[in-house]
Protein backbone atom coordinates (compact mmCIF):
# COMPACT_ATOMS: atom_id res chain seq x y z
CA UNK A 1 0.00 0.00 0.00
CA UNK A 2 2.76 2.45 0.92
CA UNK A 3 4.66 1.60 -2.28
CA UNK A 4 1.66 2.46 -4.43
CA UNK A 5 1.22 5.78 -2.64
CA UNK A 6 4.92 6.58 -3.03
CA UNK A 7 4.65 5.78 -6.73
CA UNK A 8 1.74 8.21 -7.04
CA UNK A 9 3.71 10.93 -5.25
CA UNK A 10 6.67 10.38 -7.58
CA UNK A 11 4.48 11.38 -10.53
CA UNK A 12 4.02 14.82 -8.96
CA UNK A 13 7.58 15.37 -7.70
CA UNK A 14 8.38 18.18 -10.16
CA UNK A 15 5.20 20.02 -9.27
CA UNK A 16 5.97 19.61 -5.57
CA UNK A 17 9.62 20.59 -5.97
CA UNK A 18 8.79 23.78 -7.87
CA UNK A 19 5.33 24.68 -6.60
CA UNK A 20 5.87 24.52 -2.85
CA UNK A 21 8.95 26.81 -2.80
CA UNK A 22 7.24 29.27 -5.15
CA UNK A 23 4.20 29.32 -2.89
CA UNK A 24 6.43 29.91 0.13
CA UNK A 25 8.25 32.72 -1.67
CA UNK A 26 4.96 34.32 -2.64
CA UNK A 27 3.91 34.20 1.01
CA UNK A 28 7.11 35.91 2.10
CA UNK A 29 6.63 38.67 -0.49
CA UNK A 30 2.98 39.07 0.47
CA UNK A 31 3.90 39.21 4.14
CA UNK A 32 6.54 41.87 3.61
CA UNK A 33 4.16 44.01 1.55
CA UNK A 34 0.79 43.51 3.26
CA UNK A 35 1.66 43.05 6.93
CA UNK A 36 3.15 46.52 7.51
CA UNK A 37 -0.05 47.97 6.05
CA UNK A 38 -2.16 45.88 8.43
CA UNK A 39 -3.87 43.84 5.71
CA UNK A 40 -4.40 40.11 5.19
CA UNK A 41 -3.36 39.15 8.73
CA UNK A 42 -5.60 36.11 8.99
CA UNK A 43 -4.93 34.89 5.48
CA UNK A 44 -1.15 34.98 5.75
CA UNK A 45 -0.98 33.56 9.28
CA UNK A 46 -3.33 30.77 8.24
CA UNK A 47 -1.24 30.04 5.15
CA UNK A 48 1.94 29.76 7.25
CA UNK A 49 0.19 27.44 9.68
CA UNK A 50 -1.19 25.37 6.81
CA UNK A 51 2.25 24.89 5.28
CA UNK A 52 3.72 23.94 8.67
CA UNK A 53 0.94 21.37 9.10
CA UNK A 54 1.56 20.01 5.58
CA UNK A 55 5.24 19.65 6.45
CA UNK A 56 4.39 17.79 9.66
CA UNK A 57 2.09 15.44 7.75
CA UNK A 58 4.89 14.74 5.24
CA UNK A 59 7.16 13.88 8.18
CA UNK A 60 4.55 11.47 9.55
CA UNK A 61 4.09 9.90 6.14
CA UNK A 62 7.87 9.56 5.69
CA UNK A 63 8.16 7.90 9.11
CA UNK A 64 5.38 5.46 8.27
CA UNK A 65 6.98 4.65 4.93
CA UNK A 66 10.38 4.13 6.56
CA UNK A 67 8.92 1.82 9.18
CA UNK A 68 7.12 -0.19 6.51
CA UNK A 69 10.38 -0.82 4.67
CA UNK A 70 10.46 1.77 1.90
CA UNK A 71 13.86 2.62 0.50
CA UNK A 72 15.79 5.78 1.27
CA UNK A 73 15.34 6.95 -2.33
CA UNK A 74 11.59 6.82 -1.87
CA UNK A 75 11.40 8.51 1.51
CA UNK A 76 14.26 11.01 1.17
CA UNK A 77 12.26 13.74 -0.60
CA UNK A 78 9.46 13.40 1.93
CA UNK A 79 11.90 13.84 4.81
CA UNK A 80 13.55 16.87 3.21
CA UNK A 81 10.33 18.68 2.28
CA UNK A 82 8.76 17.83 5.62
CA UNK A 83 11.69 19.19 7.59
CA UNK A 84 11.99 22.31 5.45
CA UNK A 85 8.29 23.16 5.59
CA UNK A 86 7.89 22.39 9.27
CA UNK A 87 10.97 24.28 10.41
CA UNK A 88 10.81 27.32 8.13
CA UNK A 89 7.06 27.89 8.22
CA UNK A 90 6.96 27.00 11.91
CA UNK A 91 9.50 29.76 12.54
CA UNK A 92 7.63 32.31 10.40
CA UNK A 93 4.22 31.70 11.99
CA UNK A 94 4.95 33.30 15.41
CA UNK A 95 6.84 36.16 13.73
CA UNK A 96 3.87 36.79 11.45
CA UNK A 97 1.44 36.70 14.35
CA UNK A 98 3.64 39.05 16.40
CA UNK A 99 4.10 41.47 13.51
CA UNK A 100 0.37 41.53 12.85
CA UNK A 101 -0.50 42.14 16.50
CA UNK A 102 2.02 45.00 16.82
CA UNK A 103 0.78 46.51 13.57
CA UNK A 104 -2.82 46.53 14.75
CA UNK A 105 -2.01 47.90 18.19
CA UNK A 106 -0.11 50.82 16.66
CA UNK A 107 -3.05 51.88 14.51
User: According to the per-residue pLDDT averaged within each range, which of 9-18, 20-29, 72-81, 91-100 is highest?
Assistant: 72-81
pLDDT category of residue 63 using cuts at 50, 70 and 90: very high
Range with the poorest average pLDDT among 15-29, 45-59, 63-77: 15-29
Please tell me the distance from the alpha carbon of residue 52 to that of residue 67, in angstroms, as a whole number: 23
Please tell me the distance from the alpha carbon of residue 75 to that of residue 58, in angstroms, as a whole number: 10
Give the total number of structural domains in the chain: 1
Position 60 scores a pLDDT of 93
> Where in the sequence is the domain holding 95, given as residue range(s)?
2-105
Mean pLDDT score of the chain: 78
Alpha helix stretches (DSSP H) within the chain: 2-11, 13-34, 41-67, 72-105
Query: pLDDT by residue (tens digit) across 67-103?
Result: 988 888 888 888 988 998 888 887 877 766 665 555 5
Residue 107 has pLDDT above 60, yes or no: no
| Stretch 1-11: mean pLDDT | 68
Position 41 scores a pLDDT of 76
Structural element, H or E, at residue 37 = none
Amino acid sequence: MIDSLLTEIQHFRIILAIGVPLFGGALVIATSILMPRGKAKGLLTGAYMLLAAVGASWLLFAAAATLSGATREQTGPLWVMGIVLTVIMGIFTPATTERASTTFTNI
